[in-house]
Structure formats: C-alpha cells, structure tokens
Amino acid sequence: MFGYTFYWSLVWDAIPELLAGAWLTVQLAALSMLLGTVFGLPLAVARRQGEGRAYRLATAWVELARNTPTLFQIYMMYFGLGALGIQISSYWAVLIALTFNNTGYLAEIFRGGLAGIARQQLAAARSLGLNQRQGYLHVVFPQLLRIVFPGYVTQAVWAMLNTSLGMLVGLQELSGAAQSAQSVSFRSFEFFLITALIYYVIAKLIEFGARAVFWRWLRT
C-alpha cells in the first residue's frame, strides 16, 4: 500500500545475532536489578534516618541517579572514566551505570515501603535478641519486597528497556545487535519491528514471571 515490500528473510538470517543480543539484554537487566536491590535496601534505611553521613551519601546517590539522564550516566562510566585513564569495557560501563541508576530508583521505592511497615516489627525482632542487621534482613526486608512488588517489577521492565542505551557505547545487546545487522542489509524497518517485538516479549515475560513468583512465594 505504501509501496514498501517486506523482506523477512534477511531478518530471519540474523535471528541468532538478535537472540544473542537479547540474552545480553536480559543478563544486564537481571544483574543490575539484583545489585540495585542489594545497594538500594541499605540506602533506603539510611534515607529514613534523616541525618548523618550515611543519610547524606544516600541522598546524593538518589538525587544524582534520578535527576540525570541514564545515557549521561553510561557516558560517564565509559568516556568519563576513559578520560581519567580508566578503561572499562562497554559491558562493565553499562552494568555499573544501570546499577547506579536502578539503585537510586529502587532506594526511593523501598523508602516508601518502609513507611508502611510498623516500627513495632523491628522492635519485636530486636526484643527477641535479633541484632539490627538480622531484624532488617529477616523481618523488615521480606515484608518490604512484598509491599513494593508492583513498583519493583515496573523498575525491572524499565531497567531492561534502558539496556538499549548500551548500543551508544558499542555494546551488542539487543538494540546494538539489531543495529549491526540492519546496517549490513539496509532493511531497517523489518529489523526495528522484530527488535521491538522481542523487547515486548521480554517485558511481558518479566511481568508474568513476577506474577507467578508473587503467587507462589510472596502471598501473606
């Protein structure tokens, strides 16, 4: 109708590269979410203290991560560090930047959730002889993850889509792989369609997977 003829066979031939890219995308999203959680939890606790060094560090982290472009954060890791003579691969640059970014967003999500957990829960844990760390780890955080789960999953999808910025520092994640493949064939439209479809499928898998996890393990 628009005088455009689809050539799918070229895309079909590039599927192995695209899937390899998709795998990298999933891997980066998962790792940066995992690390973001590990850092975000203590940051949220520090933020709730409202004063002190830990609070100021946490606040600076959250402010920077949430109020500067993700792309800028990746560039800082890749070109910024490079200018200082520290060379890291695009993979590590993207992983570190996305972890930094996720940590900031997750810390705020967690902070909101902490307000919803009765102070009495930690007091009850402490009264049994658990120390502060055990109280958070075994009593507060497990409840927190349940409370913030919807926001957490949204962030996971967002992190996964954000990995596409890796293309701009030469990473062969899904977008990068699609870019390389289409530049050989010049069939951009087909490649972009298929790539978007793969992103969509991954996002839906995260969503349904999360729902299954919640249903199986996190109901109270």
CB of 146 to another protein, least distance (A): 7
* Residue 187 found at the interface with another protein (CB under 8 A): no
105-113, 126-134, 167-175, 192-200 -> range binding another protein (CB under 8 A): 126-134
29: closest CA among 218, 155, 133, 168? 155
Smaller CB distance to another protein: residue 98 or 114?
A: 114
Give the chain's largest Cα–Cα span. Answer: 74
**What is the rounded distance in angstroms from the CA atom of residue 147 to the CA atom of residue 134?**
19
* Residue 118 found at the interface with another protein (CB under 8 A): yes
Could you say which of 128, 196, 197, 213 contacts another protein (CB under 8 A)? 128
**What is the rounded distance in angstroms from the CA atom of residue 182 to the CA atom of residue 200?**
19
* Residue 213 found at the interface with another protein (CB under 8 A): no
Chain position carrying tokens 């996890």: 213
Contacts 24+ apart (CB under 8 A), 52-60: 58/107
Could you say which of 87, 89, 134, 188 contacts another protein (CB under 8 A)? 134
**What is the rounded distance in angstroms from the CA atom of residue 101 to the CA atom of residue 95?**
10
CB of 220 to another protein, least distance (A): 5
Q: How many CB atoms lie within 10 A of CB 50?
A: 8
133-141, 151-159, 193-201, 206-214 -> range binding another protein (CB under 8 A): 133-141
Smaller CB distance to another protein: residue 69 or 116?
A: 116
Helix (H, G, I), strand (E, B) or coil at 78: helix
Could you say which of 57, 64, 124, 193 contacts another protein (CB under 8 A)? 124
11-19, 31-39, 142-150, 154-162 -> range binding another protein (CB under 8 A): 142-150
Q: Among the residues of the chain, which ranges form H helices?
A: 8-49, 53-67, 70-75, 81-83, 90-115, 119-127, 132-135, 141-147, 149-162, 174-185, 188-213
CB of 130 to another protein, least distance (A): 6
Could you say which of 30, 55, 146, 161 contacts another protein (CB under 8 A)? 146
Residues that bind another protein (CB under 8 A): 118, 120-121, 123-131, 134, 138-139, 142-143, 146, 218, 220
